[in-house]
Chains A and B, each alone.
Chain A
């Protein structure tokens, strides 16, 4: 058995406290508790609340990562307090004291309690978060493939804890961004074969300047999610279905930008910076730069470009004439395109059933499976290969 009874140890933590009635600034409040190392940060807070100070504010209920109440930041990283072991938290603490703060991107009400209505739930409401069922409604259940139901169960598994919202970089810059949790919720309907409004939902979210193309693909929400909902992955799937299946060309140039990006990578193996902007705005070819829209956009970004050159952020020669990579490497990149584009159907990796590919193998073999060679075109097994259209960038 892997369950080892480890004796209790002392753990110190500091909580970011804020009392809205005191008219005083937030402050740190430090406590030391005694618990087994595999107990949770929530249990540490509850022990301190029970023994030393009952006024520490935190929402919590289930203690098993299903109610989604206790989203906080532990050592700066978003997490469920009940889902974070004390020994792991201690490892991430810079000075031996675990640091617990309220989540980000949402106003603090008191201590660790944030206003989720003002941000998170408002955004959820934005995505028409209910099934618009295909008509006529059958007498019994809708007959739908098992795989689709398992697939949408991944986003159904979202517990609305707000950890991804807390860490979303795009939302930090653009608070109006619909954001990872709400867009994952949107996928739950877009991916549901019983829903009648797939095109309308996608068109709505693609045309919205703060919709699916506002995500900067930073992976923060993927790391933050305690339930493996993979919000960014769901946003990318929304984009793929919108652009590939419904051919939605959005007013934000999101679709054009993606097309330009993939074309350039295929041609050069690396991003050709000087071409990406004109192609995104003017059309996906060398002539794109002569379109008025592209000229306008190029002109408006000139100050940024100049600043970048002055600060040595990029080499103007490479940026203008493109990167050159060895021929073998370029062939390898193009082999990926050939493989992906050669498939009859788009391959969507179902990440819900994690670990399914881990068959009964020796650790050495498992390591080999985890790092398949893509260059030789024999990237088996399938499940270990990232879906290549994920490579699109905004």
Chain B
């Protein structure tokens, strides 16, 4: 049975950064992912990474912008950690090989991004996430003797000992179908968000809330789950993301009358207000009949105002996306976009070292909620979040491992339980619904009721639907009866993970009777600091979610009215 000081689940940016940090501290490390690491969804992050590296900038300014962007729900101690450590982290990435684009003096160039008071986003064209992910993977290949890689292994549950400490996982080798127990002194969850609980979404098909649901089932509290980010610029039909870098480079948003409607909502920052503000403004234009395209369901993003050479060099990927996925040459004509599900601010509750309340269990990246994003994440802060808290988790877990013995635990019962559960899914009779049908209904329903605008009635109906889908998912059937690459059966498990995530999102959204950040309640349209300047924590108690609250940490910045 494999045993490691630190076992990391998920091999996107947070996971790989955690692995490298823990290995550097001398721990024995394994990193496990259900896909090959470079397929992880961090690869799709386009625009860049924020850090106050300019001589005119100061990390306090970055921190304030982040606090304001979070609509004052972010924990300021965590935000201070992230922003103050950002310049060092970005320099480290540059030193290990990230090909950050330069200015004419040969220094790292910076681009403008939403909600930022100064240009502070370092970038590699518009493939920043890909460049970062591939460079970290280069480092994993370099350190292959100190970091064991379990690529294409699917985690089914977390192991806990009698004292409640997390001490490993049960996983399935996707390629062979073999189940195995992995013991570890510490487990770091770094397996991303739950975007596939929505349809459409910018997130890849692999982003199914595995880590959030596994932690929730193991008893860890989830926090801020109601805060779901809609990105302002997604292709109308497929939901494919057009990077915020486009607006960072100067692109305009126009309604059917050709107006730059952001003048009304954010006269100073215009298109570069924070994402919740821009998405809401767009949705209002669409709802009030000023949308463009078929059914008036879109908004024009006009990139033609950016110099063509600059677009071709710095926004090359979206030039291709426009051409390949919408048939539009964005350097010559506007492209139709709309808001689309993109990111969940919430996740497994952690402290600034990535520790969850369960001893031995850490979380970092989108799976976690530190909370640095609060009610709304700023663009180009997610890559930063993954790297800073990935590293901190890795370092902390390695230090913890140094002073403890390898847990001795009998894993047979749980291994058998998970193994039997998979066999049971494979052998289900075909009298229920298909997994894919339930998944589609879940996604479309969430996109209707737990989206940019929400209200009590919609959210209650969402909750009822989720209860029914949960019931149906327990009998849902699949086609594949094999063991080698049985993606079908993994899809059934992923569906159950997504349902848990969707349920906690809806419960949180019902609970929060105010409008803050990404949560806009049409029945409670105002922010209410007196009653709701607090986090909503959700824990699995018996069979259902239990709600409790925790305070927001405020260090230097008192809540104030939020204007862009």
Query: A50 CA to B433 CA in the complex, in Å?
Result: 11
Residue pair A153, B141 in contact (C-beta under 8 Å): no
Query: A4 CA to B236 CA in the complex, in Å?
Result: 12
Query: A355 CA to B311 CA in the complex, in Å?
Result: 11
Interface status of B218 (Cβ within 8 A of chain A): no
Interface status of B36 (Cβ within 8 A of chain A): yes
Residue pair B125, A55 in contact (C-beta under 8 Å): no
Interface positions of A from 80 to 121, Cβ below 8 Å from B = 83, 85, 109-111, 113, 116-117
Interface status of B460 (Cβ within 8 A of chain A): no
Given contacts A54-B436, A131-B97, are A69 and B478 in contact (CB under 8 A)? no
Residue pair B327, A4 in contact (C-beta under 8 Å): yes
Q: How far is the CB of B476 from chain A (nearest CB, A)?
A: 11
Interface status of B101 (Cβ within 8 A of chain A): yes
Given contacts A4-B327, A137-B95, A192-B97, are A61 and B35 in contact (CB under 8 A)? yes
Given contacts A61-B35, A66-B317, A356-B312, are A153 and B91 in contact (CB under 8 A)? no
Q: Which residue of B lies closest to A227 (CB)?
A: B320
Q: Which residues of A contact B241 (CB under 8 A)?
A: 64
Residue pair A62, B204 in contact (C-beta under 8 Å): yes
Interface status of B464 (Cβ within 8 A of chain A): no
Interface status of A173 (Cβ within 8 A of chain B): no
Residue pair A1, B204 in contact (C-beta under 8 Å): no
Residue pair A63, B333 in contact (C-beta under 8 Å): no
Interface status of A149 (Cβ within 8 A of chain B): yes
Residue pair B107, A61 in contact (C-beta under 8 Å): no
Give which listed residue, A62, A141, A157, contacts B94 with CB less than 8 A: A141
Residue pair A150, B313 in contact (C-beta under 8 Å): yes
Hey, what's the 0/1 contact readout for B22-43 against A, CB within 8 Å counting as 1?
0000000000000110111101
Interface status of A310 (Cβ within 8 A of chain B): no
Residue pair A153, B436 in contact (C-beta under 8 Å): no
Query: A139 CA to B94 CA in the complex, in Å?
Result: 11
Given contacts A141-B100, A194-B97, are A153 and B142 in contact (CB under 8 A)? no
Residue pair B238, A355 in contact (C-beta under 8 Å): no
Q: Which residues of B contact A20 (CB under 8 A)?
A: 484
Which stretch in B130-138, B266-274, B401-409 binds the other chain? B130-138
Give which listed residue, A51, A141, A160, contacts B108 with CB less than 8 A: A141
Hey, what's the 0/1 contact readout for B450-481 against A, CB within 8 Å counting as 1?
00000000000000000000000000001111
Query: A189 CA to B333 CA in the complex, in Å?
Result: 37
Given contacts A3-B336, A124-B141, A125-B141, are A156 and B313 in contact (CB under 8 A)? no
Give which listed residue, B39, B134, B436, B486, contacts A61 with CB less than 8 A: B39
Residue pair A67, B99 in contact (C-beta under 8 Å): no
Interface status of A302 (Cβ within 8 A of chain B): no
Q: Which residues of A contact B96 (CB under 8 A)?
A: 130-131, 133
Q: Which residue of A lies closest to B295 (CB)?
A: A5
Q: Which residues of A contact B108 (CB under 8 A)?
A: 141
**Chain B count of residues within 8 A CB distance of the other chain:** 83
Q: How far is the CB of A226 from chain B (nearest CB, A)?
A: 9
Query: A194 CA to B335 CA in the complex, in Å?
Result: 38
Interface size bucket, A side?
Answer: 35 or more
Interface positions of A from 3 to 38, Cβ below 8 Å from B = 3-5, 19-21, 38
Interface positions of B from 281 to 307, Cβ below 8 Å from A = 293-294
Give which listed residue, A60, A85, A145, A157, contacts B102 with CB less than 8 A: A145
Q: Which residues of B contact A140 (CB under 8 A)?
A: 53, 91, 107
Interface status of B485 (Cβ within 8 A of chain A): yes
Interface status of B206 (Cβ within 8 A of chain A): yes
Interface status of B428 (Cβ within 8 A of chain A): no
Given contacts A54-B436, A130-B142, are A156 and B327 in contact (CB under 8 A)? no
Query: A324 CA to B478 CA in the complex, in Å?
Result: 69
Residue pair A156, B131 in contact (C-beta under 8 Å): yes
Give which listed residue, A54, A65, A125, A146, contacts B435 with CB less than 8 A: A54
Residue pair B293, A1 in contact (C-beta under 8 Å): yes
Interface positions of B from 2 to 47, Cβ below 8 Å from A = 35-36, 38-41, 43-44
Residue pair A156, B99 in contact (C-beta under 8 Å): yes
Given contacts A146-B102, A153-B124, are A62 and B326 in contact (CB under 8 A)? no
Among A69, A110, A141, residue most surrounded by chain B Cβ atoms (within 10 Å): A141
Query: A66 CA to B130 CA in the complex, in Å?
Result: 8
Interface positions of A from 330 to 362, Cβ below 8 Å from B = 352-356
Q: How far is the CB of B230 from chain A (nearest CB, A)?
A: 18
Interface status of B488 (Cβ within 8 A of chain A): yes
Q: Which residues of A contact B327 (CB under 8 A)?
A: 2-4, 38
Q: Which residue of B lies closest to A112 (CB)?
A: B485
Given contacts A54-B434, A59-B39, A143-B106, are A1 and B333 in contact (CB under 8 A)? yes
Q: Which residues of A contact B106 (CB under 8 A)?
A: 143-146
Query: A160 CA to B39 CA in the complex, in Å?
Result: 9
Q: Which residue of B lies closest to A85 (CB)?
A: B324
Interface status of B103 (Cβ within 8 A of chain A): yes
Interface status of A283 (Cβ within 8 A of chain B): no
Q: Which residue of B lies closest to A61 (CB)?
A: B204
Residue pair B175, A51 in contact (C-beta under 8 Å): no
Interface positions of B from 131 to 179, Cβ below 8 Å from A = 131, 134-135, 138-139, 141-142, 151, 175
Q: Which residue of A lies closest to B94 (CB)?
A: A141
Q: How far is the CB of B493 from chain A (nearest CB, A)?
A: 13
Interface status of B487 (Cβ within 8 A of chain A): yes
Q: How far is the CB of A321 from chain B (nearest CB, A)?
A: 50
Query: A155 CA to B552 CA in the complex, in Å?
Result: 44
Interface status of B251 (Cβ within 8 A of chain A): no
Q: How far is the CB of B135 from chain A (nearest CB, A)?
A: 8
Residue pair A3, B102 in contact (C-beta under 8 Å): no
Query: A111 CA to B108 CA in the complex, in Å?
Result: 45
Interface status of B345 (Cβ within 8 A of chain A): no
Interface positions of B from 313 to 337, Cβ below 8 Å from A = 313, 316-317, 319-321, 324-329, 331, 333-336
Query: A19 CA to B327 CA in the complex, in Å?
Result: 37
Q: Which residues of A contact B320 (CB under 8 A)?
A: 65
Among B240, B331, B478, residue most surrounded by chain A Cβ atoms (within 10 Å): B240
Q: Which residues of A contact B100 (CB under 8 A)?
A: 141, 149
Query: A277 CA to B16 CA in the complex, in Å?
Result: 50
Given contacts A116-B36, A131-B138, A149-B102, are A54 and B491 in contact (CB under 8 A)? yes
Query: A141 CA to B486 CA in the complex, in Å?
Result: 46
Q: How far is the CB of A182 from chain B (nearest CB, A)?
A: 12
Residue pair A62, B134 in contact (C-beta under 8 Å): no
What are 17 A-to-B residue pairs whose CB atoms are below 8 Å? A1-B333, A2-B329, A2-B333, A61-B204, A61-B206, A63-B240, A66-B43, A67-B44, A83-B324, A110-B485, A141-B107, A145-B102, A146-B103, A146-B104, A150-B101, A156-B127, A159-B130
Closest 3 CB pairs of A and B: A131-B97, A55-B480, A61-B204
Additional 15 contacts, C-beta under 8 A, given A54-B436, A62-B41, A65-B320: A3-B328, A5-B294, A54-B487, A55-B488, A62-B204, A63-B240, A64-B321, A66-B317, A116-B36, A139-B91, A143-B105, A145-B102, A145-B106, A153-B127, A352-B316
Binding site for B on A (CB under 8 A): 1-5, 19-21, 38, 49-51, 53-55, 57, 59-69, 83, 85, 109-111, 113, 116-117, 124-125, 129-131, 133, 137, 139-146, 149-150, 152-153, 156-157, 159-160, 188-189, 192, 194, 352-356
